[in-house]
Amino acid sequence: LAKTTQPISMDSYEGQEVNITCSHNNIATNDYITWYQQFPSQGPRFIIQGYKTKVTNEVASLFIPADRKSSTLSLPRVSLSDTAVYYCLVGEYSGGGADGLTFGKGTHLIIQP
């Protein structure tokens, strides 16, 4: 499994766009990039998944450059409720797949008023 590196923490303010970048230099050809969100004392929640270029859903956008060695999760107009830990996962699965997931340290995003 490709190792991922994310900032340990980030701060922003309500209404701002937040971009969290994840490095995965050893990503393999069959690997997907998946982001999860976790609130305190809750299970992780799937946010978005992509393989290349750009993916957008109702919650976030995921930008993946051509070399796929990094990815950026973009949260538009964040609110206080977006304060959470965000995990970037890289692995040979689509939507989670058949294997248990390997979580890195994640990025603790703190949104202030």
Partner 1 sequence: GAVVSQHPSRVICKSGTSVKIECRSLDFQATTMFWYRQFPKKSLMLMATSNEGSKATYEQGVEKDKFLINHASLTLSTLTVTSAHPEDSSFYICSARDRVFNEQFFGPGTRLTVL
Collect all residues with Cβ–Cβ distance below 8 Å to 67 and sequence separation of at least 6.
Answer: none
> By C-beta, is 58 or 67 nearer to partner 1?
58
- Among 94, 112, 97, smallest CA distance to 48 is for 94
Q: How far is the CB of 39 from partner 1 (least distance, A)?
A: 10
> Binders of partner 1: how many residues, by CB under 8 A?
21
- Residue whose CB is less far from partner 1, 43 or 113: 43
Closest CA to 16 of 63, 97, 76, 101: 76
Question: Looking only at residues 75 through 104 of this chain, which bind partner 1 when binding is defined by CB under 8 A?
Answer: 87, 93-104
